[in-house]
Amino acid sequence: MPLLRQFSTTYIRSKSIIVASIIVAVLSLMPCFAHLFIIRVSIRALIYAIFAMSWDLLYGYAGLISFGHALFFGLGAYTCAILNTLFDLPPWGCILIAPCISTLAGLIISIPCLRLKEAYLALGTLAFAEIVRYLAIHFRELTGAEEGIRGIQVFSENILFNYYLYLIITLVCTTMLLLVVKSSFGLKLIAIREDEELSKACGINTSKYKISAFLLSSFIAGMSGGLYAHFTGIVEASIFSSTVSFMAVSMTIIGGLGTIIGPIVGSYLITFISEILRATLDIRLLVYSLTLVLVLLFIPEGIIARVRRLYRVGREK
Amino acid sequence: MKVLEVKGISKSFGGLIAVNDVSFHVLEKEILGVIGPNGAGKTTLFNLITGFLKPDRGTINFRGIELTRLRPHQIAQLGIVRTFQLVKSFPNMTVFENVLISSLSNRNIHSREQAEKKAIEVLKLLGLLNLKDRLSKNLSHGELKRLEIARALSMDPRLLLLDEPLAGLSYDEMNDILNIIQELRELGISIIIIEHTIRVLMKIVDRVIVMHYGKKIADGPPEEIVSNRKVIEAYLGE
């Protein structure tokens, strides 16, 4: 029996490796058959996927809800924008520094936020993001106020090069996060989400783990922000707005909370729908909300979890 | 040898004095019962020992280490492990993961492999091995009570604090747990058990302390406690 079980888990594992390889293959071969517009939208989807994954780590695993995640995204983007346009640092250098600045912000914010839970934590993080948005508008010499910063360098003029670069970064982030959540560290984060008091009784230093989750999440969010700045070339103060935070929230919930892969699916879905609609009407917010409501009504566990369940049911039959 | 020595601890919540100047000790391999009516301060006493609450006054000494300055996870890592009155688990984790979480914090364990081995070993000891892949939210009350003890054991406790381990169990389940507790003593673990009544503890405890309105009103072997006038008054009224 144990041998059989071992065989079946290896079998499932190899199955998911096959599925993952197919997806990666499709994504890497996409430039061969897809229109340039699709490639551009895909890059956007990859950026938001990384951003949404960082939110998923925080809420889907550690149970820490942030409604101000745009703060880390925006800070990463502004760091790149300022370093690149004012100090002429090349994109490669900027993208290394941006996540560190976001992580620093994550550290500063996580300490007062440790005492907050659920709705209070959501509001606390939202308030921090609003403060930073105000600061971004206020310090106009550095940030260009509402108009923001323009003319940020892109990584390369070659769109295909950019696509593959962003794809590789996304894959590296995904693999890293999957390894993290499967590790003992990830297990402890889940334990804290499930029951914080019991986690303490099990010898887990909950403050340390919660701060670590915040740091890792803000690092990744900061990097996605930097990638955004070096792709669009423009950063505006509206990047700190709650709309951007809720984008990560809705993408994760649509794709599947606590799955890491889910946010990628959610990001592709939302980004493609809203980019296609953008040409006719600016009704992106309506699209997020509508998709979110539909998912919550019909597949509350998210797309990925539903697909996995259907697959499992099909196999048992 | 005294494993735990509590001296003059007090804790009040607003105007209510939950624990009032309580002192007692636990010896090596001793099973100490703590009984008292509802609201006597028994669980507060556990929360003070395990660092979930800080005492207003008094000291708690564990093998020469002052506990009142430490945080709950540090106290747990020393091998002072508790269970909860209202049974707790990580509901969306498997039984195996529930135990693995605490064995990872075991002070004698330094790798994931060792922790996994320990978890399996403890699950086997408590007869939960066949449930190891079940989510703990799908367990029965009796199974959850055993899981709580499994989790505590995976940390190799030196002092085990059981908060009403028998509450809500059937007669057979109760006997199972009592047998397990006695086996633990053989492993050299000191144990403090909270219960409402002394009856179920009679057979296994070495000594009993009785709490009433936050005060310790009696301390002695169980035979002596059952005939103590103060204790009878506390339970039956004057």
pLDDT attached to residue A145: 73
Q: Is pLDDT above 60 for A10?
A: no
CA A108 to CA A30: how far, in whole Å?
A: 41
Task: Identify the CA nearest to B22 among candidates B229, B226, B215, B227.
Answer: B215
B125 touches chain A (CB under 8 A): no
Identify all chain B residues contacting A197, using CB atoms and an 8 Å cutoff: 52, 84, 88
Identify all chain B residues contacting A206, using CB atoms and an 8 Å cutoff: 73
Please tell me the least confidently modeled range out of A20-24, A102-106, B51-55, B203-207.
A20-24
Task: Report the b/e string of A115-138 with b at 16+ CB within 10 A.
Answer: eeeeeebbebbbebbbebbeebbe
pLDDT band at A317 (very low <50, low <70, confident <90, very high): very low
The ipTM value here is 0.91
- Comparing CB atoms, the residue among B84, B91, B155 nearest residue A194 is B91
With an 8 Å Cβ cutoff, are B92 and A200 in contact? no
Per-residue pLDDT of A241-277, as tens digits, reads: 888 999 899 999 999 999 999 999 999 998 988 888 7
Q: Is pLDDT above 80 for B221?
A: yes
Element (H, E) at B184: helix B171-186
Model confidence, pTM: 0.89
Average pLDDT over residues A66-84: 94
pLDDT attached to residue A9: 55
Helix, strand, or coil here: B24? strand
pLDDT band at A1 (very low <50, low <70, confident <90, very high): very low
Residue A134 Ramachandran class (φ > 0 left, ψ -120 to 50 alpha, else beta): alpha
- Comparing CB atoms, the residue among B50, B88, B104 nearest residue A195 is B88
A179 touches chain B (CB under 8 A): no
Distances (CA, A) of A3 to A6, A7, A8, A10, B90: 5, 6, 9, 11, 28
CA A239 to CA A183: how far, in whole Å?
A: 33
Which numeric CATH code is attached to A44-240?
A: 1.10.3470.10
Task: Identify the CA nearest to B115 among candidates B166, B151, B76.
Answer: B151
Identify all chain B residues contacting A210, using CB atoms and an 8 Å cutoff: none
Enter the tokens of residue A226. Answer: 């930097």
The one-letter amino acid code at B6 reads V
Identify all chain A residues contacting B97, using CB atoms and an 8 Å cutoff: 187
With an 8 Å Cβ cutoff, are A190 and B100 in contact? no
Q: Is pLDDT above 90 for A6?
A: no
The answer to whether residues A87 and A207 touch, using CB atoms and an 8 Å cutoff, is no
A31 vs A68, which has greater pLDDT? A68
Suggest the residue from A202, A206, A210 to mutate for an interface test with chain B (most B CBs closer than 10 A): A202
With an 8 Å Cβ cutoff, are A188 and B101 in contact? yes
- Comparing CB atoms, the residue among A184, A201, A206 nearest residue B104 is A184
pLDDT attached to residue A18: 83
Q: Which residue of B has its CA nearest to A204?
A: B73
In chain A, what percentage of residues exceed pLDDT 70?
92
pLDDT attached to residue A7: 52
pLDDT attached to residue A19: 80
Handedness of CA A106, A107, A112, A113 (dihedral sign): positive
- Comparing CB atoms, the residue among A195, A198, A204 nearest residue B105 is A204
Enter the tokens of residue A301. Answer: 């566990």
CA B110 to CA A201: how far, in whole Å?
A: 19
Identify all chain A residues contacting B155, using CB atoms and an 8 Å cutoff: 202-203
CA distance A305 to chain B (A): 14
pLDDT attached to residue A281: 63
CA A171 to CA A191: how far, in whole Å?
A: 27
pLDDT attached to residue B27: 94
Identify all chain B residues contacting A182, using CB atoms and an 8 Å cutoff: none
With an 8 Å Cβ cutoff, are A191 and B91 in contact? no
Matching residue, tokens 């990463």: A76
> How many CB pairs (< 8 A) connect A and B?
67
Q: Which residue of B has its CA nearest to A186?
A: B101
What ranges do the domains of chain A cover?
A: 44-240
CA A3 to CA A316: how far, in whole Å?
A: 19
